[in-house]
Amino acid sequence: MNNYEPLRKKLNFAEDLPFTPDWSAAADFLTLIADHCLEKKPATIVECSSGLSTLILARCCQLNEHGKVYSLENGSEYAEKTRQQINDFDLKKYATVIDAPLEKKEIEDSDYLWYSIKSMPVNSIDMLVIDGPPGFIQPNSRYPALPVLNDRLSNNCKIFMDDASRDDEKNIIQLWLDRFPQLKHEYIDTERGCSILSINK
């Protein structure tokens, strides 16, 4: 069964969604972020890792007639594939995939590999979707997202992290809550787990 079919119909895509079972975000996570985007109509969305989620969020922006997605991608092959899908679905106006190679970031006396944001033309983020970098690169691979981007998060920013049922992601959430006490956390029991964080500055 194609679990993505209800989402395709919800967003009125004419063609089947180009999902890959092993790599694409699960349909229930994509539905969560789509519902938020359609309801809150964020102006600026930033993604850590590109893919089907880029297509879904770009379509939501198109339906909203408002907003744009900026997707940080360290893999050039994945970046080109997502760009091609965006073009195929005529959503180029609503999404930009940014080549963002991983570079060393020193955070609290620890070194991490995380996306270069030199080419990201965004100063205020209304929605942040975290689905990378891959966990095999290092422990707590996604931790740098908030230390690096915190100053760019708008007052009403909503943060969605996929794969939140994994031990690494649970640890990252706790580290974030300890470092940023203004965060409010909600866990949603999706197929792979979703953590939603609200910013209350």
Q: Report yes or no on 7 lying in a domain.
A: no
Domain that holds residue 129: 43-150+166-199
Q: Report yes or no on 118 lying in a domain.
A: yes
Write the CB contacts of 22 (distance below 8 Å, at least 6 apart in sequence). Answer: none
Least Cα distance to 126 among 57, 29, 77, 23 occurs for: 57
Domain count, the chain: 1
Return phi, psi of residue 162, to 5°.
Answer: -80, 165
Q: Report yes or no on 31 lying in a domain.
A: no
Q: Report yes or no on 24 lying in a domain.
A: no
What dihedral angle (degrees, nearest 10) is formed by the CA atoms of 85, 91, 92, 94?
A: -130
Burial environment of residue 22 by CB neighbours within 10 A (0 to 12, 13 to 18, 19 or more): exposed
- List the pLDDT tens digit at each of the 201 positions of the chain: 579 999 999 999 999 999 987 778 999 999 999 999 999 999 999 999 999 999 999 999 999 999 999 999 999 999 999 999 999 999 999 999 999 999 999 999 999 999 999 999 999 999 999 999 999 999 999 999 999 999 999 999 999 999 999 999 999 999 999 999 999 999 999 999 999 999 875
For residue 133, whether the previous peptide bond is cis, meaning omega lies within 30 degrees of 0, is: yes
Q: Report yes or no on 191 lying in a domain.
A: yes
**DSSP strand E in the chain: where?**
44-48, 68-73, 95-99, 102-107, 110-115, 125-130, 153-162, 183-188, 194-199
Return phi, psi of residue 3, to 5°.
Answer: -70, -15
Contact (Cβ atoms closer than 8 angstroms) between residue 107 and residue 138: no
Q: Report yes or no on 155 lying in a domain.
A: no
Q: Report yes or no on 68 lying in a domain.
A: yes
Find where tokens 């972020």 sit: 33
- Domain of 195, CATH number, reads 3.40.50.150
Q: Report yes or no on 8 lying in a domain.
A: no
